[in-house]
């Protein structure tokens, strides 16, 4: 027969208080990380959208345009920080759910989030590769063939794969929130609508990609308001 040692009540109380304080800090941390991510990603998408011409045979003109190239450089430099904030966002959401986490939705949630960040980085790296062309400092545009190829690859990675993984992340996060009753009904509806738009509507307009940072901002703002209401 195995004897079980009964822990000291005083130490148990201290431990429980520590766990409680840590769990109460999580929603605010999630809110801050989510807001940072949403602002950074929105900045990246808007800077690239307004700097890079959409379509046309002269779309590569931004590479040598002095007034537009810095915007793209800033956007690409913001991508790693957006990814870091998003990973932090994932971590604190999982910590907030805790033992109530469903293994199926948790796997989809974590996998889609990591794939989103990975493909966001790959797309940014390919786009940044154009700026590393040695002909650009001399004021020469990249070859039309190279520009067309890398533009199609970047567009496909970001809009076909990364954004749709973001849609799956939103959907799985919403399902976890619904099953654990950690989000209100209206926020669940917002999550479902956002995921549908990103899954099926990104080909309509690139501006619909902004749905992801907007959703992250709304969810994060709700977590912050709830944490303040609960006196965290």
Contact at 8 Å (CB) between 127 and 154? yes
pLDDT tens string 94-133: 776 666 666 777 888 999 999 999 999 998 888 777 776 6
Domain for residue 123, yes or no? yes
Of 193 and 67, more confident: 193
Residues with Cβ within 8 Å of residue 180, at least 6 apart in sequence: 97, 100, 101
pLDDT at 2: 42
pLDDT at 116: 94
Domain for residue 204, yes or no? yes
Question: Position of tokens 């890079």?
Answer: 52
Domain for residue 14, yes or no? no
Q: Name the DSSP class of 141.
A: P
Domain for residue 34, yes or no? yes
Look up the pTM and report it.
0.77
Rounded to an integer, what distance in angstroms lies between the CA atom of residue 28 and that of residue 75? 27
pLDDT at 47: 79
Residue 206 has pLDDT above 50, yes or no: yes
Domain for residue 32, yes or no? yes
pLDDT at 55: 42
pLDDT at 172: 92
The Cα angle at residue 23 between residues 16 and 36, in degrees rounded to 5: 160
Under the banding of pLDDT at 50, 70 and 90, the label for residue 56 is very low
Q: Name, of 45-54, 87-96, 182-191, the range with top average pLDDT.
A: 182-191
Rounded to an integer, what distance in angstroms lies between the CA atom of residue 175 and that of residue 181? 9
What is the share, in percent, of the chain residues with pLDDT greater than 90?
Answer: 29
Under the banding of pLDDT at 50, 70 and 90, the label for residue 8 is very low
Q: The dihedral of CA 119, 122, 126, 131: what is its sign?
A: positive
Task: List the domain range (segments joined by +) for residue 197.
Answer: 28-229
User: What is the pLDDT averaged over residues 42-58?
Assistant: 66
pLDDT at 50: 67
Q: Per the structure, how many domains does the chain have?
A: 1
Domain for residue 211, yes or no? yes
Q: The dihedral of CA 7, 9, 13, 16: what is its sign?
A: positive
Residues with Cβ within 8 Å of residue 174, at least 6 apart in sequence: 183, 187, 188, 191, 192, 195
- Taking CA atoms, 18 is separated from 2, 24, 78, in Å, by 29, 10, 35
Residue 158 has pLDDT above 60, yes or no: yes
Domain for residue 18, yes or no? no
Residues with Cβ within 8 Å of residue 136, at least 6 apart in sequence: 63, 64, 130, 142
Domain for residue 19, yes or no? no
């Amino acid at each position: 027969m195995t004897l079980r040692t009964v822990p000291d009540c005083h130490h148990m109380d201290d431990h429980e208080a520590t766990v409680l304080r840590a769990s109460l800090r999580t929603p605010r941390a999630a809110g801050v990380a989510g807001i940072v991510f949403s602002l950074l990603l929105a900045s990246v998408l808007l800077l690239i959208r307004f700097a890079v011409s959409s379509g046309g045979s002269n779309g590569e003109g931004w590479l040598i345009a002095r007034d537009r190239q810095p915007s793209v450089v800033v956007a690409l430099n913001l991508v790693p920080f957006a990814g870091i904030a998003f990973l932090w966002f994932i971590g604190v959401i999982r910590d907030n759910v805790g033992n109530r986490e469903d293994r199926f939705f948790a796997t989809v949630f974590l996998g889609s989030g990591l794939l989103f960040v990975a493909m966001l980085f790959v797309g940014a790296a390919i786009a940044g590769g154009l700026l590393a062309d040695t002909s650009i400092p001399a004021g020469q545009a990249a070859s039309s063939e190279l520009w067309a190829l890398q533009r199609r690859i970047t567009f496909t990675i970001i809009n076909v794969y990364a954004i749709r993984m973001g849609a799956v992340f939103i959907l799985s996060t919403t399902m976890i929130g619904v099953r654990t009753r950690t989000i209100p009904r209206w926020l669940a509806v917002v999550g479902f609508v956002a995921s549908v738009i990103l899954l099926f509507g990104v080909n309509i307009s690139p501006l619909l990609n902004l749905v992801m940072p907007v959703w992250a901002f709304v969810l994060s703002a709700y977590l912050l308001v709830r944490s303040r209401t609960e006196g965290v």
